[in-house]
Amino acid sequence: MRKMKKNKVSSNETLLPHLEAFRQLLLRCLIALGCVFIPAFFMAPICLNTLIFLLIDSQQSLNYFSPLEVFWVQLKLAFVIDLIFCAPWIAYSVWRFLLPALYESERRIIRYLSFCAAGLFIIGVCCCLFFIMPTVIRFGLSFETGSLHAVWSVYALIDLVLKLSVVFGLMFQFPLMTYAFIRLGIVSKEKVKQKRPAVFLGILILSALLTPPDIISQLLLALPTYCLFELGLFFCNPEKKKKNA
């Protein structure tokens, strides 16, 4: 009984410093987000005008239908800008927190996957802003007639831009997920190849759930995502792992 009590005490003694370090990490991240939010709020109008310039033709205009609508849009943009600026520092802080518990090989893998995930997320967001959103807007304008005119709310448009940007950034992680699952031995490359129809159907369902209810935006998300899935499958070579082992 005494030995069991000693073991419990020692495990608590080793756990408490980690919990305290994790608490301090969360506090530092929250403080950083709070400090950067103030300048981010002043940057939000510039970003809003830039997005409108990129997405809306000079002959069109956006409207707002309540006194605080533009203010809430700027708040949402400020929060996104805050996250973008703080994300590298937060990722570095989490990396330093996890570093002592990782082996050198694990550090290399996590470092590689982190850079790839960040790069794919940025590519997905850029693809959404410069290729997908203009297509969605043109599709929406195609319904205009002599008696039907497009009158868009600034909140609705910016909300759609932010949601689709996040969705594209996350869906562009598909090749990385495929690569990781195969290299870790969770599934084999041959089984994944056999399940291609199911994967394509799953991507279509996800695209339908994550995008607005129109076929254009769903296909514009589903097709690049499936191409990226095939790309991850092409570059994954599980035999290398066996040779190194």
Task: Give the distance between the most distant pair of CA atoms in the chain.
Answer: 87
Identify the pLDDT of residue 1.
46
CA distances from 77 to 48, 50, 61, 156, 187 (A): 8, 12, 19, 13, 40
Q: Could you report the average pLDDT of every consecutive run of 10 residues in the chain (245 residues)? A: 47 67 88 92 92 80 87 92 88 82 77 83 87 83 81 88 87 80 75 83 85 78 84 66 43
Question: Could you tell me the two tokens for 70?
Answer: 């533009």
Domain spans of the chain?
Answer: 1-101, 117-245
Residues 6 or more apart whose CB falls under 8 angstroms from that of 143 comprise: 150
Asked if 33 and 78 count as a contact pair (C-beta separation under 8 A), the reply is no
CA distance 154 to 17: 48
Identify the pLDDT of residue 209.
83
Identify the pLDDT of residue 44.
92
Identify the pLDDT of residue 122.
87
